[in-house]
Amino acid sequence: MTTWNPLLLAWQTVYQFIQLLLAKLLSPNPPPPSCQPEAPANCYHWRWTNCQLGGIWARVNHTSGLQIHSLMYRFFPSIQWKKGYPNREEILENITAIWNEYGLEKKTKFGVKVEKVWQDENERWIVNGPEYGKFDGIIAAIGTCGDPKMPHIPGQEKMPQGKKAAIIGGGASAVEALEYTSAAQAEKTFVLSRSEKWIIPRNALVDMLLATNIFGQEILLSWIPEKLLRVFFYRDLEDVAPPSNKGLFTETPMVNFRCPPENSRGQRRMATSKRAQGVPPGGPGHEINVECDIVIMATGFSRPKLGFLPEKCFEEPYAPPNWYLQTFPPGYMSVCANNCTYVNAIGTVGNYHIGIYTRILLMFLVDPLTRPNQRLMRAWIDMTRVFKIQLLWWYLFCVAINPFRWKWALFVFYGIGQGLPMSFVEQEDRLREKLGWDSEATDRKRRREEMAKNK
């Protein structure tokens, strides 16, 4: 029997109203077909015969859902989440609705293996060959999940169903599998992982507080949230928490609100590794045998490669993720590797930063005075090696450091008000043309006209 919760109902009502307001204020009007971006879909790493809309969400099982609160998964203003932690079907429904509303299916070529991109003499990008056209900018949106990591186990084809399950893996997939076995009333579940991982509560407020670490790495005060997690979340299961020398901010943690409490009821047993606690992967250990009736492979995915970009994008010490704002390769301000270069982090995944990065790219394309040169891009990267700062501070710093970007602030952060900065750029272009300082004015005029139609 479902319990009626007035506070939850009130919050859901407010949440729906906020989403409707955001959609009304910030959603762009669908552009005419001539203004839409060409998008050769990068599907070469998929094993499916027909590429599907939705990226990794189209490939996972129907039991999968969002690990973070949907407040931090708003990759487009018009998204309408029905609950805090939507499942796979609801996520795909929202993606498909946006896809259809903006007519993107007409401008997408599925099944295209992107082998190489390069610039012509006018610095316009060519994808594979001229037959696809030429482009002012490139957005590499290949994500972080490619082919499944599936180690072969002898006899796996004949694995019977039963009550004891062994989950191999230690990431989000392992958490989902653990929830699934819990719902199926498994007698016992073993989680086998190469190393201990922190588990943090599936709570929007806690996740946002942890993500406010502006250093993005372990600091002297990191022991405080770690201690709070051990006392209030792990409780009597503190022995399964990572050792004191494995900090919370050293790699991406697992997110769940049931894992440690469920373990405390004795229904599951976690065998994190065959090594003593704190011994790194590859260190000394001993072999253990786990008797089970079914094995769940939750070993994640291999990372897709950005190898189709120019080789200069990967020159050390400025190879990804050591790029400007983590997405722009030094010397290539017209390339934005959106949401696919980060390695380990606590924070958002498919949130508003996707739109901010895209609008920063558009700003660079239409306004030459806002563009960073290679030297400044590398200087920013060198600064963040020492002082990583938090993602929102990156954006604020990016806009504030250059006075010519100030006029773009509303557009960069909210996607509105592009008319004012574009009128400034037109005047600047006319002045440079009269002085003979600008050879790209015609191209930028075309880009501005396209943005105006897209308004």
Single residue among 383, 408, 433 that ends a domain in this structure: 408
Domain annotation covers residue 2 = no
Which residues have C-beta within 8 Å of that of residue 196, sequence separation ≥ 6? Answer: 240, 241, 242, 243, 246, 272, 273, 277, 278
Within this chain, do residues 269 and 162 fall inside the same structural domain, yes or no?
Answer: yes
Both structure tokens of 333: 């301000």
Within this chain, do residues 282 and 393 fall inside the same structural domain, yes or no?
Answer: no
Alpha carbons 142 and 150: distance in angstroms, whole number? 20
> Where does the pLDDT of residue 266 fall: very low under 50, low under 70, confident under 90, or very high at 90 and above?
very low
Within this chain, do residues 389 and 321 fall inside the same structural domain, yes or no?
Answer: yes
Within this chain, do residues 291 and 160 fall inside the same structural domain, yes or no?
Answer: yes
| Residue 97 belongs to domain with CATH number | 3.50.50.60
> Where does the pLDDT of residue 159 fall: very low under 50, low under 70, confident under 90, or very high at 90 and above?
very low
Residue 281's pLDDT is 60
Number of residues written out for the chain: 455
| Residue 196 belongs to domain with CATH number | 3.50.50
Domain annotation covers residue 7 = no
Alpha carbons 275 and 325: distance in angstroms, whole number? 38
Within this chain, do residues 274 and 326 fall inside the same structural domain, yes or no?
Answer: no
Domain annotation covers residue 443 = no
Alpha carbons 16 and 13: distance in angstroms, whole number? 5
Within this chain, do residues 189 and 280 fall inside the same structural domain, yes or no?
Answer: yes
Within this chain, do residues 390 and 313 fall inside the same structural domain, yes or no?
Answer: yes
Helix and strand totals (H; E) in the chain:
12, 13
Single residue among 393, 408, 423 that ends a domain in this structure: 408
Structural domains counted in the chain: 2
Within this chain, do residues 134 and 170 fall inside the same structural domain, yes or no?
Answer: no
Domain of residue 228, residue span: 156-297
Phi, psi of 166 (to 5 degrees): -120, 125
> Where does the pLDDT of residue 380 fall: very low under 50, low under 70, confident under 90, or very high at 90 and above?
very high
Within this chain, do residues 174 and 289 fall inside the same structural domain, yes or no?
Answer: yes
Within this chain, do residues 292 and 351 fall inside the same structural domain, yes or no?
Answer: no
User: Which of the pair, 340 or 156, is modelled with greater confidence?
Assistant: 340
Single residue among 366, 392, 408 that ends a domain in this structure: 408
Q: What is the DSSP letter of 323?
A: S
Domain annotation covers residue 12 = no
Within this chain, do residues 64 and 113 fall inside the same structural domain, yes or no?
Answer: yes
Domain annotation covers residue 372 = yes
Residue 268's pLDDT is 47
What does the pLDDT look like over 316-331, one tens digit per residue? 999 998 999 999 999 9
Domain annotation covers residue 244 = yes
What does the pLDDT look like over 228-247, one tens digit per residue? 888 888 776 666 677 777 78
Residue 400's pLDDT is 94
Which residues have C-beta within 8 Å of that of residue 212, sequence separation ≥ 6? Answer: 390
What does the pLDDT look like over 353-376, one tens digit per residue? 889 999 999 999 999 889 999 999
**Residues β-bridged to residue 118:** 126
Nearest Cα neighbor of 407 from 394, 423, 395 is 423
Hey, what amino acid is at 177? Answer: A
